[in-house]
């Protein structure tokens, strides 16, 4: 059995739109419009989409916060809303813009409190806390009231709070939003460690695709409440024809554009002195060797496909999933 199973999951909201001085019109917004998804134990899933695509709404339905309008969802074999409190013992949740911490208390007290709330045996709690303290470098601010913490410090506290009961599934909604580069790296590094242990299933929504590239092998892209891509990042590049590029700078332009097998010419720049080849079946070495026979090479560089660009394209093109 998969840890998370969604079948035809839907959530509709009715909103009232002002159309006149007194008149209001009801409109139905399909925030999540029929999502099917299975996530296996230990998977790290990146769940992305533009603003309003339905990412957070999906996560809220999986954590028992929101009741689905239709369809089925199970997490750890439980129905999130009906079995909310039982499920809560087995999942961890970090909402980047919702705090689980007690504002006026030091982190240390929040953690002690969570031990009671989640009914965790003292020894287990202490072991996990010790581990998080080391990995997330909490010791410098464990006794500071949460309201005085920086965003990065607070987020490290949130992560710890979500893990102290040893959840099977960790849901993270924008865990790096607003963080500085150093804190972002710390959070990513920590999550990568967690993923390497292979025990925890991780579902991550983010706007920062670097999070996904660093952490997730599987990427689910949603737009307008539907899945438009489900697969690896490499598969996404293949599907949308984004390839690695070889950029060659020559001393002088060639009389005719060169034809290299397995690496079609993508672009000519700088009056023909800069050539951009798309790598299909050829290797970088083959391209370099082929060019070296034709002209004097001044510089060679390789450009990795830009995931941001691919995803942006994905949002614009209506896909049937």
Partner 1 sequence: MAEPATLTGAPAPAQRPRPGAQRGAGGALRAYRALLGAQARSQTAYRTSFVVDLVGNVGATAFDVVTVVVLYGVTRELGGFTLRETLVIVGLSAFAFAAADLLVGNIERLSGYVRTGLFDAVLVRPLAALPQLLLMDLPVRKVSRVAFGLAVLLAALASARIEWTPARVALAVVAPLAGIVFFGAVFVLTATVSFYWIDSGQLANSVTYGGRDFTSYPVTIYGGWFRALFAYGLGFAFVSYHPALALLGRADPLGLPGWVGWAAPGVAGVAAAVAALAWRVGIRHYRSTGS
Residue 126 binds to partner 1 (criterion: CB under 8 A): no
What span, in angstroms and rounded, lies between the C-alpha atoms of 233 and 217? 7
Stretch that binds partner 1, among 93-101, 227-235, 261-269, 302-310 (CB under 8 A): 93-101
Distance CA 256, CA 307 (A): 32
Stretch that binds partner 1, among 127-135, 242-250, 252-260, 275-283 (CB under 8 A): 127-135
According to the binding rule CB under 8 A, does residue 13 interact with partner 1? yes
Question: Shortest CA distance to 170 belongs to which of 150, 138, 197, 207?
Answer: 197
282 binds partner 1 (CB under 8 A): no
Ramachandran region, residue 198 (left: φ > 0; alpha: ψ -120 to 50; beta: rest): left
Give yes or no for residue 244 binding partner 1 (CB under 8 A): no
Distance, CA of 284 to CA of 34 (rounded, Å): 43
Report how many residues bind partner 1 under the rule CB under 8 A: 65
Contact call for residue 306 and partner 1 (CB under 8 A): no
- What would the DSSP string read from start to end of 147-206? GGS-HHHHHHHHHHHHHTT--SEEEEESTTTT--HHHHHHHHHHHHHHHHH--SEEEEE-
- Using a CB cutoff of 8 Å and minimum separation of 24, what contacts does 26-29 make? none
Q: Which of 190/277 has CB closer to partner 1?
A: 190
Which lies closer to partner 1 via its Cβ, residue 158 or residue 230? Answer: 158
**219 forms part of the interface with partner 1 (CB under 8 A):** no
Report in angstroms how near the CB of residue 34 gets to partner 1 at its nearest. Answer: 20
CB of 143 to partner 1, least distance (A): 13
For partner 1, which is the closer residue by CB, 20 or 121?
121
Query: Please, where are the H alpha helices in the chain?
Result: 55-62, 84-88, 107-117, 122-136, 151-163, 181-197, 209-215, 233-239, 284-292, 307-316
Are 91 and 169 within 8 A, CB to CB? yes
- Identity of the residue, 29 or 234, whose beta carbon is nearer to partner 1 in the bound complex: 29
The residues facing 30 across adjacent strands are 12
| Contact between 211 and partner 1 per CB under 8 A | no
Kindly state whether residue 85 participates in binding partner 1, applying the rule CB under 8 A.
yes
Which parts of this chain interact with partner 1 (CB under 8 A)? 13, 55-56, 60, 63-67, 81, 84-86, 88-91, 93, 95, 97-100, 102-105, 109-110, 112-113, 116-121, 124, 127-128, 131-132, 134-137, 145, 163, 165-168, 173-174, 182-183, 185-186, 189-190, 193-194, 197, 199-200
């Amino acid at each position: 059995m998969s840890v998370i199973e969604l079948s035809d999951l839907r959530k509709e909201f009715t909103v009232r739109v002002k159309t006149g001085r007194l008149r209001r019109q009801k409109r139905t917004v399909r925030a999540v419009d029929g999502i099917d998804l299975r996530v296996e134990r230990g998977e790290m899933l990146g769940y992305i989409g533009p603003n309003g695509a339905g990412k957070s709404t999906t996560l809220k339905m999986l954590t028992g916060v929101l009741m689905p309008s239709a369809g089925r969802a199970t997490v750890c074999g439980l129905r999130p809303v009906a079995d909310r409190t039982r499920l809560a013992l087995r999942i961890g949740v970090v909402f980047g813009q919702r705090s689980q911490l007690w504002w006026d208390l030091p982190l240390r007290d929040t953690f002690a409190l969570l031990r009671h709330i989640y009914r965790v045996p003292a020894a287990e709690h202490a072991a996990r806390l010790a581990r998080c303290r080391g990995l997330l470098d909490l010791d410098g601010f464990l006794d500071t009231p949460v309201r005085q913490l920086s965003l990065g410090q607070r987020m490290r506290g949130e992560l710890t709070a979500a893990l102290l009961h040893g959840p099977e599934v960790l849901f993270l909604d924008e865990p790096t939003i607003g963080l500085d580069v150093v804190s972002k790296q710390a959070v990513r590094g920590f999550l990568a460690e967690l993923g390497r242990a292979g025990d925890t299933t991780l579902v991550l929504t983010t706007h920062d695709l670097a999070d996904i590239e660093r952490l997730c092998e599987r990427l689910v892209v949603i737009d307008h409440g539907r899945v438009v891509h489900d697969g690896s990042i490499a598969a996404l590049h293949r599907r949308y024809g984004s390839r690695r590029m070889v950029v060659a700078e020559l001393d002088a332009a060639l009389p005719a554009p060169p034809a290299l097998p397995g690496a079609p010419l993508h672009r000519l720049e700088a009056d023909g002195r800069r050539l951009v080849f798309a790598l299909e079946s050829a290797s970088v070495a083959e391209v370099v060797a082929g060019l070296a026979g034709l002209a004097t090479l001044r510089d060679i560089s390789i450009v990795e496909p830009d995931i941001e660009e691919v995803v942006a394209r994905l949002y614009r093109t209506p896909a049937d999933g």
